[in-house]
Amino acid sequence: MKTLVANFSKQLSEAISIGEKAKLTVSESPISNVLICGLGGSGIGGSIVSELVVGNANVPINVTKGYFIPAYVGKNTLVIISSYSGNTEETINCMELAMKKGAKIVAITSGGKVLEICKQNNFDCIVVPGGMPPRACLGYSLTQLFFVLGFNKIITNDYKKELNAAINLIDNDQASIVAEAKAIADKLNGKLPVIYATTYNEGIAIRFRQQLNENAKILCWHHIIPEMNHNELVGWTQKNDDLSVLIFLDKDEYSRNLARVDINKEVIKKYANNITEIYSKGNSVIEKAIYFIHLGDWISVLLAETRGVDAVEVNVINHLKSKLSEI
């Protein structure tokens, strides 16, 4: 897993090449909304991208992480099916429902049943390299989402320039990223992480939480500012030295949110003595997101190493899928 994380920039470069060569077709009907279907490592890209393009996209973009699709899906909906293995049962069910609704379907997968359905129905499909843990292939799925949205004129083409800038950023800062990740991982060892981020960065927080779950094999939780100021902040009433708070912050964050963070820290430090602020790097939302993702991935694998656990192993998920296959 450390090797896969270390090669993230190479994966992004390869993903750009794949996206540029993708053979996509124009929708027969005008697109009035977008639905991204996917779960886990395949689905988190949808959460992140939908937030990154919120100020750019010209139609609503929603994400579903389950068996069903919204009632609004129809011929004017672009449905993006994201399943790395191509065999995610929930996503396949969404795909079949979208087909019945006559939606424009584009898939991102490495193979499996999703690829078979695409071939049978002549659907657009971007095929990415297979054989790796889905959570280690976010670079592939996230990048292809930009290309699909760009091709369908949902967003502008600036994403390619920003993706390349993000690659240069993490390549040039690799040593400092690993050093920062090691320092944070040491702080998290033996602790229960509490992850906070601001609006439109929830996908980043979720990605980090999922990586801590799957790679480091620990539980944690996340919440978003300012939403948590209307509920969770009230829950900080008991001192607990087993908690470690991490706050993801954008250097260009809205001033009112920065003020909220300062007030939140005043409250939280009375009950938790371990608070870490993690600041973004980069000049665009895509660069900042890639930086956060890469740093978080490094934290998760270095914490796994410190804890002496196998970052790749997900036996309990395999057990769940095996049991479901018997039903």
> What is the phi-psi region of residue 102: left when phi exceeds 0, alpha when psi lies from -120 to 50, beta otherwise?
left
To the query of whether residue 96 is one of the catalytic residues in this protein, the response is: no
Q: Which of 161, 239, 319, 321 is catalytic?
A: 321
Residue in the block written with tokens 């804890």 = 307
Sheet holding 33-37, edge to edge: 61-64, 33-37, 77-83, 104-109, 124-127
Q: Cβ contacts of residue 245 below 8 Å, gap of 6+?
A: 193, 194, 196, 268, 272, 274, 275, 276
The active-site residue out of 21, 100, 230, 323 is 230
Q: Does 230 participate in catalysis according to the annotation?
A: yes
Rounded to 5°, angle at Cα 253 from 247 and 255? 110
Of the residues 51, 202, 214, 253, which is catalytic?
A: 214
Angle between helix 89-100 and 112-121 (nearest 10): 20
User: For residue 193, what are the β-bridge partners?
Assistant: 244
DSSP notation for 128-187: ---SS-GGGGHHHHHHHHHHHHHHTTSS-THHHHHHHHHHHHHHHTHHHHHHHHHHHHHH
Active site residue 321: yes
> Which residue, 187, 160, 145, is CA-closest to 275?
187
Residues assigned a catalytic role:
214, 230, 321
